[in-house]
Amino acid sequence: MNVYVSRYHVLLVILTLIVCVMFKGCTTAPSGAFEHNSPVFYVDGKFHEELPEEYIFEVWGYRIVDALGTEHTYRTRVDIPHQRKGKKWCTIHRCPEEIKVHFDPKGDGYHYWVNKKKR
């Protein structure tokens, strides 16, 4: 049984597919774009909900959280005495930062205030 398909039938099928893709889109997301909302990290052959602390230390260094809740990481340990200032290079923000340290005996230890400084 021979079926004859003319080039007009092929052209009609291709135009129909193009119109369907144009009006339907490639995704069903509400924004029309591909959304990558993956809260899972793949580190060392395992899936993690959060980045492991040893991976953060290995890649970025010592981590502190300033008084505003922003995380900063430094290659060397932050050993600044009470009410003193020190300058270190932040590996997350990739700029020099001035760190001021205050000790809180009633709270959870040290409080850090971090300002970004120009060189």
* CA–CA distance, 95 with 87 (Å, rounded to integer): 10
**Predicted local distance difference test score (pLDDT) of residue 113:** 92
**Predicted local distance difference test score (pLDDT) of residue 36:** 67
Residue spans of the chain under pLDDT 50: none
Q: Is residue 105 part of a domain?
A: yes
**Predicted local distance difference test score (pLDDT) of residue 114:** 93
**Predicted local distance difference test score (pLDDT) of residue 101:** 92
Q: Is residue 101 part of a domain?
A: yes
**Domain total in the chain:** 1
List phi, psi (to 5°) of 59. Answer: -85, -45
**Predicted local distance difference test score (pLDDT) of residue 25:** 61
Residue range of the domain that includes 100: 49-116
Q: Is residue 30 part of a domain?
A: no
